[in-house]
C-alpha cells in the first residue's frame, strides 16, 4: 500500500514549492500554532463559553487563556457575546463563529488519531452519532461523493483559479 500521495507534474520536488507557494496548513499555524489554542478550541466545542470555564477545563493559566481568547476572537474563530442573566450584571461569553465551527473536522481527526494510536485500551472520549449511536470518524471524500483512498489522492497546484461570480 502506498503511503505517499501522488504528485502531479508541476509540483515536483524541484519546483521550489516550499517557498513560492503558501501552504494553507502553514498559514493556519499563524492562527492555531500553539497547543493552548487547540485546547481552547476543544473546550469551545465541548460547550465552554465563560472565561473561567476555559481556564478550569484546559488547565492553562489565566494570562495565557486571556491572550488566546483575544487572539482567537481577533481571528474570527470565536466571538465575544455579552449576556446577562436576570438580576446579574453583564458578562462575556465566547462563542464559536462559523469559521471556528468549521474546525471541527480537524479536531475530530486529531482525536480519532490519538484514540487509535495513543490509547489502545485506556479511558477515552467517545464521539457518537446521536441518531444511531455509532462512533464518528473523519473520512476523505471527493466532492463527487466517492470515498478516496490514499493512493487515489492527487496533489496539484491551481495557481490562478477564477473567482466565483457573485
Partner DNA sequence: CGGCATCCTTAGGGATACTG
Partner DNA sequence: CAGTATCCCTAAGGATGCCG
Where along the sequence are the contacts to DNA (CB under 7 A)?
33-37, 50-53, 59-64, 66-70, 91-92, 94
Q: Does the footprint of a second copy cover residue 85 (CB under 8 A)?
A: no
DSSP helix/strand/coil, 45: helix
The answer to whether the CB of 98 falls within 8 A of the CB of 73 is: no
DSSP helix/strand/coil, 72: helix
Report the residue number, 21 or 74, with the smaller CB distance to DNA.
74
DSSP helix/strand/coil, 66: helix
Residue 85 interaction partner, one of a second copy, DNA, none, beta carbon < 5-8 Å per kind:
none
Which region, judged by CB under 8 A, interacts with a second copy, from 55-63, 65-73, 80-88? 55-63
The answer to whether the CB of 21 falls within 8 A of the CB of 31 is: no
Q: Does the footprint of a second copy cover residue 81 (CB under 8 A)?
A: no
Q: Which of 27, 58, 26 is closest to 41 using CA atoms?
A: 58
Residue 63 interaction partner, one of a second copy, DNA, none, beta carbon < 5-8 Å per kind:
DNA
Report the residue number, 39 or 103, with the smaller CB distance to DNA.
39
Amino acid at each position: 500500500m502506498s503511503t505517499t500521495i501522488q504528485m502531479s507534474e508541476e509540483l515536483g520536488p524541484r519546483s521550489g514549492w516550499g517557498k513560492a507557494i503558501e501552504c494553507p496548513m502553514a498559514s493556519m499555524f499563524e492562527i492555531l500554532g500553539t497547543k493552548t489554542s487547540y485546547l481552547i478550541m476543544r473546550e469551545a466545542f465541548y460547550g465552554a463559553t465563560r472565561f473561567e470555564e476555559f481556564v478550569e477545563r484546559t488547565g492553562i493559566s489565566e494570562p495565557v487563556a486571556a491572550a488566546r481568547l483575544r487572539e482567537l476572537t481577533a481571528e474570527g474563530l470565536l466571538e465575544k457575546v455579552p449576556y446577562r442573566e436576570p438580576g446579574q450584571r453583564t458578562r462575556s461569553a465566547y462563542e464559536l463563529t462559523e469559521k471556528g465551527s468549521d474546525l471541527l473536522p480537524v479536531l475530530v481527526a486529531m482525536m480519532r488519531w490519538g484514540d487509535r494510536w495513543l490509547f489502545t485500551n485506556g479511558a477515552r472520549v467517545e464521539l457518537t452519532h446521536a441518531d444511531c449511536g455509532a462512533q464518528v470518524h473523519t473520512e476523505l471524500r471527493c466532492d463527487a461523493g466517492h470515498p478516496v483512498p490514499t493512493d487515489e489522492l492527487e496533489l496539484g497546484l491551481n495557481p490562478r483559479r477564477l473567482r466565483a461570480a457573485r
